[in-house]
Amino acid sequence: MTGPGPRGRIEARFARLAAGGRAGFVPYVTAGYPTLEHTRALLAGLGEAGADVIELGIPFSDPMADGPTIQRSSQGALAQGTSVDDVFAVLAELRASSEVPVVIFSYLNPIHSRGIEAFVRQAVDAGADGILPIDLPLGADPALEAALEACPLDLVRLVAPTTYPERVREITRASQGFVYYIARTGVTGARRELRDELALEAGAVRAVSPCPVAVGFGVSTPGHARAVGAAADAVVVGSALVDRLDDGGVAGALALARELHAALDGVRSG
């Protein structure tokens, strides 16, 4: 593990959470959905609603790991003309008034199309703290991985329920900031129930990881957040917030964010 980027916001936030024995709340936002104005309002409000880290998604035309909700939000954002430049512009606006850590959530195509050096430079200048390339498995592109590991952004990596134990150790050692544990196989999307094995699996990853472990994919309700928060260092919620944004606008999404954050009160992580 090469350690967190020089900004240190992610490391500092997780250290504070660990000191308090509390799991973090990590909401996901698709930039530009349904409009950039909605994204600006969401980003501004999520920090006040208790977000410990924000995942800011760059909309992409073929989001393979995402279910219908995030696919719809990505397509809607692209239909509005949302560009990578727009994503970094709204992040820069947030950074002018907030210190909440932000991880850029992206597929590789937008990164490659801009060029890795230019993409990273723009992300850092805008105030990003980390990057999570969804379709970059460990060892798939050593040159690109080395460049990302050496850049000022924390390189957040994914671990799946099907990942073999030795590879879990390799992935967690290569991760920076935190590790994202996928709560189930398949794609993203809100679910009514979580798998019974999830707590044990998350605990096994935490036992070998030098980084904090965040759990997402299917975490949808305050009850889910409490259950996951007892086994992980952080809880990631995406599709449920997008669904609430569709139904209740920014106010509705922020209300759910406050409920999810409040559900973690009194839940001692791990």
Cβ atoms 170, 138 nearer than 8 A = yes
Active-site residue identified among 11, 52, 62, 66: 66
Active-site position among 11, 55, 129, 233: 55
The two structure tokens encoding residue 177: 């900031």
Cα angle: 81, vertex 87, 88; to 5 degrees: 140
Backbone angles phi, psi at 81, to 5 degrees: 90, 15
> φ and ψ at 224, to 5 degrees?
-60, -45
Told to judge if 66 belongs to the known catalytic residues of this protein, a careful annotator would answer yes
**212, 39 contact by CB (below 8 A):** no
How far, in Å, are 6, 100, 157, 181, 217 from residue 154 at the CA level? 9, 15, 10, 16, 21
- The whole-angstrom separation of Cα 253 and Cα 214 is 21
Task: Tell me if residue 55 is catalytic.
Answer: yes
Active site residues: 55, 66
